[in-house]
Chains A and B, each alone.
Chain A
Amino acid sequence: MNKYFEKEHILLVVGLAMLAWGCNQALFVLPGETYMGEVFRIFFLHVPTAWNSLLIGTVAFGAALGALVKRSRGWDAAVEASVEVTLVLIVMVLIQGSIWGHGGTWGDPRTEAGSTWWEWEPRLTASAVMALSFAGVLSLRSFIEQFERRVLWTAVATVIAYVDVPIVYLCVKWTDRGMHQDHSTPSTVSDVYHWPLRVNAFAVLLIALWLIVRRAKLTLARDAARADQTPPTESTTPLVAGGA
């Protein structure tokens, strides 16, 4: 591999190719949904993005546990990267969902909602809380200079923020579903929609993994620069012979 082609770029190339195929199917090949019509095509980007926001949020949780145990720069970089990618994905989900909600689920007897940008229903509210929680982790982290404290506080805040992730996933089972349908599975989605949905889900996953690797490398590069600038502390000052 030369310096311009790092291994993670394979994830990006395959992910973009899959996303191009999936979006082409979603926008130009597949039929619209029976009740929602054309606006349903948002589903093929919205659901994969939502799945991956929860999955990458879980990666952030795992990385936070690793950071709590190891307290190393590598784990810390993984936490920051996965939290930031989760935030980007959940913001995309909220925007897509808002446009879909306004585009109209009218005429759809399976939902109670009409045309609206926002509804304080369980999954939307939990998703908004998730976005704020992950933004809060990054905000908290930016205020802490000392490495040991930054690792600890970021990891603890990430574990706390993660509590909302299972709630986002399961609230359609626990409570009134509001604007959302039950979990999208092969039994709740027509056969013709399965493959484009799966391909887009893996496409977003591969792109998200590429982003995590690149973002973690950015954190490590910044840490290296910061370490070069920091004067040696008492504990790292070498012992010098020659005293009285």
Chain B
Amino acid sequence: MENNPTELTAETVADGGSNPFDGKVTDHAMAWSHVSAAYSISLAILFSYMVVVSVRLKAARARNEERT
């Protein structure tokens, strides 16, 4: 759905207009899709990096133990 800054969606009309600024409201579903994307991508990057560092550290230690 294309976001239209001047559009009042059914949801916001039913809420009685949850955004008081001059009828310019964001679409709630669109907003939540952005929120979930931001959290998902950020946490995916963070946890992936944590896993990569842990796996590489484990492998490096295993190689050093083999050598000694």
A: residues with CB less than 8 A from B are: 12, 23, 27, 32, 34-39, 41-42, 45-46, 49, 88, 91-92, 95-96, 99-100, 102-104, 106-109, 114-115, 207, 211, 214-215, 217-218, 221-222, 224-225, 228
Q: Are B26 and A106 in contact (CB under 8 A)?
A: yes
Q: Are B42 and A45 in contact (CB under 8 A)?
A: yes
Chain B residue numbers with a CB within 8 Å of A109 are 21
Chain A residue numbers with a CB within 8 Å of B63 are 225
Query: Does B37 lie at the interface of the complex (its beta carbon under 8 Å from any beta carbon of A)?
Result: yes
Chain A residue numbers with a CB within 8 Å of B1 are none
Q: Which chain B residue lies CB-closest to A105?
A: B26
Q: Are B26 and A37 in contact (CB under 8 A)?
A: yes
* Count of A-B residue pairs with CB < 8 Å: 112
In the complex, chain B residues 14-68 whose Cβ is within 8 Å of any chain A Cβ: 18-22, 24-26, 28, 30-32, 34-35, 37-39, 41-42, 45-46, 49-50, 53-54, 56-57, 60-61, 63-64, 67
Q: How far is the CB of A224 from chain B (nearest CB, A)?
A: 6
Q: Total interface residues on B, using CB and 8 Å?
A: 34
- Pick from A104, A115, A217: contact of B57, CB below 8 A: A217
Q: Are B26 and A99 in contact (CB under 8 A)?
A: no
* 20 additional contacts (CB under 8 A) given A96-B42, A207-B50, A211-B53: A27-B35, A34-B21, A35-B21, A37-B18, A38-B28, A39-B35, A42-B39, A45-B42, A92-B42, A92-B46, A95-B45, A96-B38, A99-B38, A99-B41, A103-B35, A107-B19, A109-B21, A218-B57, A225-B64, A228-B67
CA distance A32 to B32 in the complex (A): 11
Chain A residue numbers with a CB within 8 Å of B49 are 88, 211
**Can you report 26 residue pairs joining A to B where beta carbons are below 8 Å apart?**
A32-B18, A35-B21, A36-B26, A37-B28, A41-B35, A95-B45, A96-B41, A100-B34, A100-B38, A103-B31, A103-B35, A104-B3, A104-B5, A104-B31, A104-B34, A106-B24, A107-B5, A207-B46, A207-B50, A211-B50, A214-B54, A214-B57, A221-B64, A225-B60, A225-B67, A228-B64
